[in-house]
Every structure is written in structure tokens, then in C-alpha cells.
A and B are shown apart, each in its own frame.
Chain A
Amino acid sequence: MKRISWLTLLMLLLAMALVACGGSGDAEPEADTGDTDTAAETDTDAEEADTSEEAAAELTCDDAIGCVEIAAGDPILIASALVITGPNESLGLDSQYGVEIAIEQRGEVAGHAVELQAEDEGCSAEGGQTAGQKIASNPSIVGVIGTSCSGAGVPMSQIVCAEGIAMISPSNTAPVLTDPESRQTCYFRTAHNDKVQGRAMAEYVFNELGLTKAAAIHDGDPYTEGLASVFRDSFIELGGEVVAFEAEAADATNVEPLLTSIAASGPEIIYYPVFIPLGSLITKTAKEIDGLEGVVLAAADGVQSPDFVDASGGAAEGMYVSGPDLGFGNDIYATFLETYQANYGSEPTAPFHAHAYDATMMLLNAIESVAQVGDDGSMLIGRQALLDALGSTSGMEGITGTITCDENGDCADPKIAVSQVQDGAFSSVWSYEP
């Protein structure tokens, strides 16, 4: 009985909602840009182009894929889609903090405040799809910072790009996302493409350290598997020998068997581009395995964080890590770290806050450069213009280096530093330019 009354109530409410809609239906039925009602699903581009006609008097939108209109006093809405729940959340939360700090430091953009709508992509393809649909369904979102995981980035880029929303990822590294054949035109990233980073370490190890026998370990995540594969292929191409290519579960608690196996194959260097938990476990354990005492250890930017050095104890001393060079250049990072500590009560927990900061700055700069501001303070942002502006970003000074986008949306500083852990800090020892 109770249930029936519940249902009835629900229906009543719906009915009321409908009445409400019907009542005001004659007011102004125009759809905003980006509205994809199934009924009118024919040709979104054409529809979007003409819906922005009602823009403020002197502002006219002549953008190929439509504009975002922001009334005077309203904030510019950008979204983030990072992994903020679940086992990988320290990766995504850290990036989100980077985004928030960038927004805070940038202040107003062309007279408008910036508001962040944070979504969770769950580090999975379906999570990326759902977050993408949510973002795509809100026509006032100008751009999105995300995703954390490449697996979520693939479906999400397809969805948000269909709406012309700019998307910049701070930590997707999978080559496929910026592959000219499969790249979505609105997709950019400030993280290093696996192709570049894996190659960088291979060259450093082979040419600079002069080692010829390598082992590589990944954890079954697209990021680590991609890097390890590129490293392997590049290393072999350079003339080295990969004596072991192994994998371990990311949440493994016992890596002694794995390392004993690897020790038996006699590598001179072990490359494990994994995240902090597994990375520090391997680092610590490797020192205690017979036969691995003198082996060089190397990892990628997934562990480039003070957390990693802490968690590994002294064992990380002397190991090599590839990634952006955060150590020199400018003092943006010092201010950034202070703000981070003050706002969130801890040191950064993952490396990609810096990339997220840069990605946000890049987006906000581009918005400022293309925004048309009217006399009354309202604003028009052309979507295609924004994408063009993002694509032509060059020489922007960021934390991770000089941000310059290539034609495929890879915007990370082409220079990759190989740093060594010295006295518990990362100090750059070599830099690679493809």
C-alpha cells in the first residue's frame, strides 16, 4: 500500500513538472548551443550555428561550431573530469587540486570569475563516458580538464568533441589519443606521450649510462604498459637487449618472487614505469634481492613525487626518473606548493598536479584571448576559435616547462628531464629532446 502511494506521489510530481514546463513553454523555446534533443538530432553543427543569433546586441557569434554565451556577472564554467574516488583517487584528486589552484591564482578572466564543476571519471571507460555525457549536456561549459586515465579519455574525448568542448588532459599518456588517425580535434594534453617518455629513458640508459641489458615491469594499466612497451621497443632498436618484460598487479603486496625471477635473467637496469605504491615496493625490495644489488633502477613520472621518496625510505636514492623538470626554471612551482600545502593540508600526492595546473592555465589563457566582451560585460566564447587558440599555444611558461602544442594536441614541453634521486630530492641530470 505504502508503495503505491509513493509511486503516485512520484507521478504527481512529474505531472507538476510537466505542467510547469507547459506553462512557460511559450516563453522562449530556443535551445542553447550544444543541445542535442533526439528529435532534432539531424545536424547539430548547423543547428548550433544558428541558435546563437540571440546573442547580445553588439556581440555576434560567427564561430563554425557555436559559442558559449556568458551574461554579465556570471562565471565562466569549466569542468574537470578526473578520478576522485576509488583506489586511484590520489592521482585524480591531486590533479584536481592543481586545477583549483590554477583557477584561484589566475583570478578573473576578462572580467568574469571562473567556476569549476568537478566530475569523477572513475578511471574507467564507462566512467569517462558518463562524465563526458554530463559535461556535454551542459552547454555553458567552455572546456574540460581531464581525464586522469587514458582508458576514460578515449570515450570521453569522442563525446565532448562532438559538442566542440575543448578538452585538455593532465595525465593521459596513451599514444592513441594524439594519434593523427584517431585523435579528436578538441583533444589536447599536457602530459607526455608515452612514445616520447619511454624513448627518452631508453636513450638515456643506452647512450648515457651505457647499459645494454634491461628489464621492464608494468602493472597492467594502460599508462604503465604503454611506457614499458615503448621503452622495450626503443631499447631494442637502439641495440640493447631486454632480458625480461614482466608484469605485476598494481596492488601486489609481495614482489620478491617477481624480482627474484628478474634477477635470474641478469639485467643491468630495471625500468618500472608504475605508480607510487607498487613503485616504492619494488624499489625497497630490489635492494634486498640477491643479484640485484648493483642494478640501476629507473621509473617514470608516475612516481615523481615526494610521497614516493618517503615511502621508499632510503632505497630510492640514486634511482632515475623521467618526467617534466620541476626543479628549475621559474618560481611558479614554489608558490604553487605553498598554496597546495595551505589549501589541502598535505604535500602533493601524485605528479600530475603540475600538468593539471598548466592545462588549466592554458585553457584560461586561450579563453581570454578569444573571448569577445560586450559593453555590458557579457561575453561570447567561440568554440572553434578556442580550439584554434589552444592548438596554437606556444611558449607558455608553465610548471612543467614551456608548453607548446603540436598539430596533434601534444602540448607538453618536448624536453623531458631524466632526474636522479639525490638526498631525497629529484635533481635533473639529463634532458631529452626528440
Chain B
Amino acid sequence: MRRFSYIDLVLWLFRIGIIGVVLWGVTGKFILGVGNEYTVSDWLDFFVSGLSQGSLYALIALGYTMVYGVLFMINFAHGEFFMAGAMTSTVLVALPLQNAGYIDRFPLLSLLAIFVSAVLTSVLVAVLTERIAYRPLRNAPRLVPLITAIGASFFWQYYFRGLFGSSLLPFPEFAMFNGKIAFWGLDFQKADFAVIITSLLVMFGLQQFVQRTKTGRAIRAVAENKDAATLMGIDVNRTITITFIVGASMAGVAGVLYSIVFRQLNFVMGFIPGIKAFTAAVLGGIGSIPGAALGGLFLGIIEAIGPPLFLEGLGVAGSHQLKDVIAFTMLVLVLIFRPQGIIGERLAEKKA
């Protein structure tokens, strides 16, 4: 046991400070009534919108976390896989379908076509990236693939900008996602609800895939120890490619869900969700699939509830602008308490 140093003191002050500020804000909000008065249903609205935003983060975060799990590299280009799927499926499938009138007539079939094309594009982009920018550097110092990942991120952004232009693309409107739906006494936008449900299904499926199937076991084996996995007859390169394919598929799905909710896309759309998803993955404990899901939801909800709850209570101007400040402060706070993330294994000490 180390002795108590000034660092620990500062850390405790930091923890107490943050918690104090939070409590002060909450008190200000509820007891002193600073800022707007919210009803219970307003609070539920904050929560629900955060939930749907969080599910999107979670879906993208899964790809991050899977790649991290096997390669221990931050795949900065993951947000671009997401963008690639969304843009290509919109331009080449959704918009032509809309012009032909198929979207109104066969919405489900159209949607399926859009999902399939998005997933295919994302996977293609991911496999190419892995093959060209990551595989040759498997044994290089780990900062090197980080740089190629950043390079790949720029490359794909501007590649797709070149293909489809830099203007904002409108995603067609699906009648079935308009309006609201009540569930468990909560009012959801239908589109949000679809996002949450799809994300849950995909995450559940992924968990089953990783835990139950042979390929899933191979992925876990490679994540654990590449040399041992090779000895056990596992084709490491193939397994890594599969990991990228699975992660990119989820990015593709997330891309379409994003399009459905926001109905506008452009070539930089992947960057911010990418950073947020990365944050979510770390928050939950990078490398852990349930962790990524949890991290994503936590981040989405804290971003939605944080500003009205803490900041308005403190009387801060323009509080919603500062949601990233809250999100990242919470991240640091969580990491101080649990350096391995919310439910991460203690790989922080061991591997990272």
C-alpha cells in the first residue's frame, strides 16, 4: 500500500468538487427553482431523448470496442465506416427508391435494401482500411496504427465527399417513423423507439455471437492471446478481418438509424459520433461489449439531462452548449473512481 500523497489529496478534492457542484446544481434546480420549471414529463423527455441518442452511441461504440479488444488499437476511422454506409445507401439506394415511389409503396422492403447496402459499404470500407492501413503494421509500435487510422479517417471523409459532394443530403421520409408511441408510460418518438429497439436487438445478437459461436470464440481467443490462438489453429488474420466486418456492420446499421432519425447527412457526419462512441467505449470499459452499450447509454443520457439538471441550477448561460463539458468531466470522474471503466476488466493495468 502506497502512502497517501498530495496526488490522492487532489484527486479526492476533485471528486468532492465535482460531486459538490453537481449537488449544488441539483439543489439549485429543485429546491431554489433556478431557471425553467420542468414538469415530470419534461424530465422523462430529457431521459428518453438521451436514451435514443445513447443507443446510437452504443451501436457505434461496439465496433470500437471489438476492434480494440483484438488489436488494442484506437480505430479512429470507425466513424468513417459509419458515414460511408449511411451516405452510400442514401445516395445509391434510398434516393432512387424515393424517386421511383417505392418507399411509400414498399417501405419495409426499401428499408431492408437500404440496410443491406449500408452494411455492405461499411464492411467494404472497413476491410479495405484494415488490409491497407492496419495489417502491414501489426507489429509496429502501437502509435503507428493510430496515425494511419487518423489518415484513413481523413481519406475516407474526403473520398466520399468527392463521390457524393459536400452538400447536405436529405434522407427520404418514412411515414412509419412519424409520430409518437407510448411505451411503459413513456412517450417515444417512433424513430427514436426504432433506434432503441434495433440497438438492443443488435447488441443482444452480438453478445450471443461472441459468446456462443465458434467464430466468436476465435475472436475472444485472439483478443486474449494472439500467439496462443495461432497455436490452437486459429487464423488470426482472418479472425481480425471478421472482427472488422462485424464492427463495421454495426456501424452500417447505426448509419441508417442515424439517417432515419436526422434525415440529413454529409461527409463529416461520422466524426463527432465517432469521438463520442470512442468516449462511450472507454467509459464502459474498452474491450467489453456490455460496457460499450452501457457507456453509450450513460453518455447519451448524461448529455441530455446534465445541462438542465446541473448547469441551469448553477445559473450558467447557454447551458446546452456545454453538454460536452459535462460528458467529458463525467468521463474523467468515472475514470478516477474506476480506471478500468464502468464494467471493464482490469486490463488497464495489464495490457493498455
Contact = CB atoms under 8 A, between A and B. Distances in A.
Whether A and B touch directly in their complex, counting CB atoms under 8 A apart, is answered as yes
Interface of A: 86-87, 89-90, 93, 220, 244-249, 251, 253-254, 256-258, 260-261, 263-265, 276-277, 280-281, 284, 288-290, 307, 310-311, 313, 345-347, 349
Given A251-B272, A313-B263, 12 more contacts: A93-B166, A253-B53, A253-B273, A257-B46, A257-B320, A258-B320, A261-B36, A264-B36, A264-B39, A277-B266, A307-B170, A349-B168
A188 B170 CA distance: 35
Interface stretch (B120-128, B139-147, B305-313, B337-345): B305-313
A290 B40 CA distance: 13
B226 to A, nearest CB: 33
B49 A249 contact: no
Contacts of B271: 87, 251
Nearest to B190: A288
B320 A246 contact: yes
A346 B169 CA distance: 11
A281 B273 CA distance: 16
Given A264-B38, A288-B189, A349-B168, A249 B321 contact: yes
B180 A261 contact: no
A247 B317 CA distance: 8
B46 A260 contact: yes
Interface string B169-196: 0100100000010000001010000000
Most buried by A among B41, B53, B187, B263: B263
A310 B318 contact: no
B257 to A, nearest CB: 11
A120 B266 CA distance: 20
Nearest to A307: B168
Interface string B32-57: 00001111011001100110110010
A293 to B, nearest CB: 12
Nearest to B308: A261
12 contacts: A90-B166, A90-B168, A251-B272, A253-B53, A254-B303, A256-B46, A257-B303, A261-B312, A264-B39, A264-B42, A277-B168, A288-B189
B303 A90 contact: no
B167 A254 contact: no
A26 to B, nearest CB: 47
Contact of A281 (B264, B317, B318): B264
Interface in B208-258: 258
User: What are the nearest 6 A-B pairs in CB distance?
Assistant: A256-B49, A349-B167, A247-B318, A247-B321, A264-B36, A254-B53
B150 interface: no
Contacts of A90: 166-168, 266
A276 B265 CA distance: 11
Given A93-B166, A254-B49, A281 B262 contact: yes
B268 interface: yes
Contacts of B187: 290
B266 A260 contact: no
Nearest to A86: B268
B167 A257 contact: no
Given A245-B318, A248-B320, A281-B262, A257 B49 contact: yes
A247 B320 contact: yes
B36 A311 contact: no
Contacts of A220: 321
Interface in B153-171: 165-168, 170
Most buried by B among A244, A261, A263, A284: A261
Contacts of B305: 257
Contacts of B273: 253
Contact of A307 (B49, B167, B307, B324): B167
B307 A261 contact: yes
Nearest to B44: A260
Contacts of B307: 257-258, 261
B300 interface: yes
B317 A254 contact: no
B110 interface: no
Contacts of A311: 168, 170, 263-264
A347 B273 CA distance: 28
A254 B165 contact: no
B321 A346 contact: no
A97 to B, nearest CB: 11
A246 B318 contact: yes
Most buried by A among B52, B165, B262: B262
B37 A280 contact: no
Contacts of A253: 53, 56, 258, 262, 272-273
B283 to A, nearest CB: 17
B304 interface: yes
A388 to B, nearest CB: 38
A307 B167 CA distance: 8
B27 interface: no
Contacts of B49: 254, 256-257, 260
B168 A290 contact: no
Contacts of B323: 249, 257
Nearest to B49: A256
A276 B189 CA distance: 22
A346 B304 CA distance: 36
A277 B258 CA distance: 14
A284 B305 CA distance: 21
B87 to A, nearest CB: 14
Given A220-B321, A257-B50, A310 B166 contact: no
Contacts of A346: 165, 167
A61 to B, nearest CB: 42
Contacts of A265: 36
Most buried by B among A253, A257, A347: A257
B321 A248 contact: yes
A307 B265 CA distance: 11
Nearest to B170: A310
A208 B272 CA distance: 40
B148 interface: no
B319 interface: yes
Interface string B289-330: 000000000001001110110001000011111011000000
A345 B165 contact: yes
Contacts of B39: 264
A347 B312 CA distance: 41
A310 B171 CA distance: 9
A255 to B, nearest CB: 8
Contacts of B46: 256-257, 260
